[in-house]
Amino acid sequence: MAADESDAATFSRQLASLKRQGCNVLVVNDRQASDVICERLLGGHDLERRHLFLPTTTPVDEVLDRHRPRRTDPGALGVLDATGANLARSITVDSSTGPELDGAAGDEWYESVDDLSDLEALFESFRTHLERVEPAAPAPGEVRFCLDSIDPFFDAVDEEELFRFVHLVTSAIRERRGMGHFHATATIGNPVLSTIEPLFDATIYVDVGPDGEPKQRWRLHEHDLLTDWFALD
């Protein structure tokens, strides 16, 4: 998987350490393969996990459909829906139009985000939902966060604002020994993405091979360790 056996062993040890301590990863490139690895990063359906989603491009119904094999009670799930965001309105909660989840009203677990440029308000909403879903003593990796696409923020705010927001979010996840992952379709050469990438513990490059099968490649930032491509299964 890595360049040699020594690197492979180092990769396995460091990855296990990140999972124990809490970590955040940046997932870049191919969307089809990103969907596959997203499922892996959210945790198995049979595991005890608490999830918080911030979708900017994926419809909430699709998020819920993918999530349903896991716990769907409001105490273990939060959705900050930014798919309809624009720069003219602020964050609102509308339980009359929000979706329902297994009989639970939307205002218990769902919040509509209408302004990506108000990162202070967005972080407060994120923190409120994170505190709501986290258990009293979270186990390593029990709290999981997914931002389906960070790209819309590139046009909504400047680099400094986005850097601060990502720093706050990733720090909050690490404090709870959780695992967060942020998808990006922009390439690593993108200047904004290059600015925020150091805030993550790892970058996962995903792609689809000539055989149509998804593959992945990891970079662990602290040790600057880059694996070879290997199957995403």
User: For position 32, what pLDDT does the model report?
Assistant: 72
Q: Is the pLDDT of residue 95 over 50?
A: no
Instruction: Return the pLDDT at 71.
Output: 67
Instruction: Show the CA angle centred on residue 175, arms to residues 52 and 148, nearest 5°.
Output: 30
Q: Percent of the chain scored above 90 by pLDDT?
A: 59
**pLDDT reading at 93 higher than 60:** no
Is residue 134 within 8 A of residue 176, CB to CB? The reply is: yes
Which CATH topology does 5-97+105-231 take? Rossmann fold (3.40.50)
Q: Where are the domains of the chain?
A: 5-97+105-231
pLDDT in tens, 142-200: 999 999 999 999 999 999 999 999 999 999 999 999 999 999 987 767 899 999 999 99
DSSP string, 117-149: T-HHHHHHHHHHHHHHHS-SSPPTT-EEEEES-
Mean pLDDT computed over every residue of the chain: 87
Question: What's the pTM value of the predicted model, to 2 decimals?
Answer: 0.89
The yes-or-no verdict on residue 2 having pLDDT over 50 is no
Summarised one tens digit per residue, pLDDT across range 107-145 is 689 999 999 999 999 999 999 999 999 998 899 999 999
pLDDT for the residue 163: 98
CA distance 192 to 69: 35
Comparing CA positions, the residue from 229, 228, 231, 230 lying closest to residue 7 is 228
What confidence score (pLDDT) does residue 176 get?
96
- Per residue in 44-70, pLDDT (tens digit) is 777 789 999 999 999 999 888 877 777
* 27 or 188: which leads in pLDDT: 27
202-208 and 23-29 beta bridge pairing: parallel
More confident residue, 151 or 91: 151
